[in-house]
Structure formats: structure tokens, C-alpha cells
Amino acid sequence: MGEVDAAFIQDIEHRPQLLVVEAEGIPVIDLSVLNSFQEGDDPRGLAGLVAEIGDACKDWGFFQVINHGVPSDLRLRVETVAKKFFALPLEEKYKVRRDEENPLGYYDTEHTKNVRDWKEVFDFMLEDPTVIPASHKPDDQQLNELRNQWPDYLPEFRGACEEYARGVEKLAFQLLELISLSLGLPGKRLNGFFKDQTSFVRLNHYPPCPSPELALGVGRHKDAGALTVLAQDDVGGLDVKHKTDGEWVRVKPIPDSYIINVGDIIQVWSNDTYESAEHRVRVNRERERFSIPFFFNPSHYVTVKPLEELVIMQNKSPKYEEYNWGKFFTTRKLSNFKKLEVENIQIYHFKKDI
């Protein structure tokens, strides 16, 4: 898919030692208790589950969930259409190629000289259209509508994608409420931030790589949103950086499970009680890999800052300046295609010196 640049090779050569572990490295949490839990039930009945979630968020920033309630047929359908789409000739996929005007649809690294990520993707928003700021500039109040692109030549593609996204959205809200409870807040404290959400789904295809020692499917990074809900196939390849020792830990796939990670927004809301974890994807020499992350993001007009009641409970000062999520999101999206004269924005830019 292209030659690997020198800077990327240097990143690979200086990576921490890879530690491959079994699933017990990342907490595995059984959500089956939610199946019998009804609206209005005493949340104390979830105390054990809430404690597990809190410990996983604090110690890892990552965990896997089983018995999660997302129908398996939704996942099977979207995996099937994703494989059909990525198997199409390139000229067919390019008919829904994303560009500077619309950052949704198909994107590949081979033909954009972005060899840091050895993959091809297809992005679509949960809400169609989705409203975001037109630019990253603070004084620009204009808004844009992002609209999904769907391939006409796979009529079953859109329906499978949209139904899957709604199924995983339900899980994301359940996890959000459990995380809120684990922070000592009401279960629905965070839900209002997602009224006009900017959540999106990415279909990832990682082709076999002839030199996996010199490439990554995705370079080391943290997720900027609130939560990520990831489905991965049995090939695996996701590595998580363990906070305590800095080792890279391989997450072993568990059939029909989802991998959950805390994003930067929850780190800010929690005033660093929970931290987003660095992660990456390793490619495979013999086998292709497919994964489907759901990025659970708030509304474009949400102001992200440490939650006041948590700051009071912690008896600490807020550790972050507030920022507008829409501007943050737009800066990230535009940086894929436009040469913005700004540094790639991160939450540490808003960290207070205290």
C-alpha cells in the first residue's frame, strides 16, 4: 500500500517492547445483569457492575464487554456488507470517496501517500445530516451539514450500516450511564450532551502487509471523543498501552464481545479521574483484518470542561480550560485533507498549569 516513511520507521523502532497477553490483561465485564434491569429500578442493584466499570476505567481506560444485548445478526450483517464493499474494484469505491468538502465515505492510504496507517476505511455519521462548525476558527460561527455517502451498487449496505449503528448506540448510552454512576453522579447526568450527537461509525479494512514489522494498521493515539465501542474480528491486532508499566498489551478477541475505551472527553469531564489510554493496531502478514469502531461523540455546541459537581466532590481545582467540541471535531476532520496552520489539537492544549 505504499512505502513506509522514515519517521514512521523510527516510531516503530523505538516502540516499547510488545507484550502479548491473553484476554485477562484487559478487564472482561459481563453486562447480563442489565437484561433484567428496568427503568426506575434502584441503581444500587447495579453496584457490583458499576464498581467493575469504574475500576476498569481507572486502571486501564479499556475493557471488553460480553452479554451486551446488541443482536448478533446486526453485527453479522454489517460485517458482511463491509467485506463486500472493500472487495469492490477501486474505481467503484472511489465513487463514494471522501474529500475536502465531505469527510465521509471511502478513504484509502495507498493513494493518499498516508502510509502511517495501513488500511482503508468507510465513515458514516449516526445522524444524517450532522451539523458541525464550518471551520476551526473561533470567530467563525457558520455551520455545515455533513451528509453520508452510500454506494448505489450495494443496495443492502446502507440499511445494514444504519441498523447496526443504532444497536451499538443503545449499548453506548448504557455504558455512559454506568460510567456516570461510577463517578458518583446520577446515571443520566451525561446523556444530555448527546442530544444532537456527532457520533460516527468507521468500517476498517487492514489488508495483509508484506512487512508488518515496518507498519501499523493505526499508529499510536488516543480517541478524542467520549467513548469508543469496537467490534473486531478473530485476527486481532489491537494493542493497548498499560498505564502502570508502559508495556503494549495485545487484546485477544473474544467472540461476540465489544472492546470499550474511554475517550479524552470523559477524561476532561472526570477531571482526570479516568484517563483515555494510548492504543494502536498491528497489521498481519498473512491475513486481512476487519474492525468496526463506533465513536460516541457529543453535540457540536457542547462545551467540554470538568464537571462542576465532580470538582467539588474531589475538592480540587479544574485541570482543564473549557473548549467547544464542535470546533475541536472540525479541526480534527479538516486536518485529514487541508493543511491547517495549527498544531494537531489535543486535550493537553487545554490543560491548566496548576
Q: Which amino acid is at 84?
A: K
- pLDDT score of 207: 92
Span 178-209, pLDDT tens digits: 999 999 999 999 999 999 999 999 999 999 98
Span 25-66, pLDDT tens digits: 789 999 999 988 887 788 788 999 999 999 999 999 999 999
Region 86-95: what's the mean pLDDT? Answer: 96
Question: Which of 3-12, 55-64, 80-89, 336-345 bottoms out in mean pLDDT, i.e. has the lowest?
Answer: 3-12
282: CB partners within 8 A, 6+ apart? 18, 212, 216, 217, 237, 239, 250
- pLDDT score of 334: 66
b/e for 187-209, b at 16 or more Cβ within 10 A?
A: bebbeebbeebbbbbbbbbbbeb
The model carries a pTM of 0.90
In this prediction, residue 261 has a pLDDT band, given cuts at 50, 70 and 90, of very high
Say how far apart CA 142 and CA 219 lie, in whole Å. 33
Residue 23 above 60 pLDDT?
no
Query: What single-letter DSSP state applies at residue 302?
Result: P
Region 91-112: what's the mean pLDDT? Answer: 86
Span 216-253, pLDDT tens digits: 678 888 999 999 999 999 998 999 999 888 899 999 99
| Residue 144, Cβ density class (10 Å: 0-12 exposed, 13-18 middle, ≥19 buried) | middle
Span 284-311, pLDDT tens digits: 888 999 999 999 999 999 999 999 999 9
Domains of the chain: 6-350 (2.60.120.330)
Q: Assess contact for 235 and 251: CB atoms under 8 A.
A: no
Crossing angle for the helix pair 155-182 and 72-86, to the nearest 10 degrees: 130
- pLDDT score of 116: 58
158: CB partners within 8 A, 6+ apart? 148, 150
- pLDDT score of 25: 78
Say how far apart CA 336 and CA 74 lie, in whole Å. 30
Residue 344 above 80 pLDDT?
no
Cα-based torsion angle of the residue sequence 143, 190, 128, 205 in order, rounded to the nearest 10 degrees: 110
- pLDDT score of 209: 85
Say how far apart CA 310 and CA 251 lie, in whole Å. 31
Q: Assess contact for 306 and 319: CB atoms under 8 A.
A: yes
Question: Which of 41-50, 121-130, 153-162 bottoms out in mean pLDDT, i.e. has the lowest?
Answer: 41-50
Q: How far is CA 31 from CA 68, 258, 291, in A?
A: 5, 11, 22
DSSP per residue over 93-132, as a string?
Answer: HGGGB--SS---EEEESTTTT-TTB--EEEEEESSSSEEE
- pLDDT score of 125: 98
Q: Tell me what the pLDDT averaged over the chain comes to.
A: 87
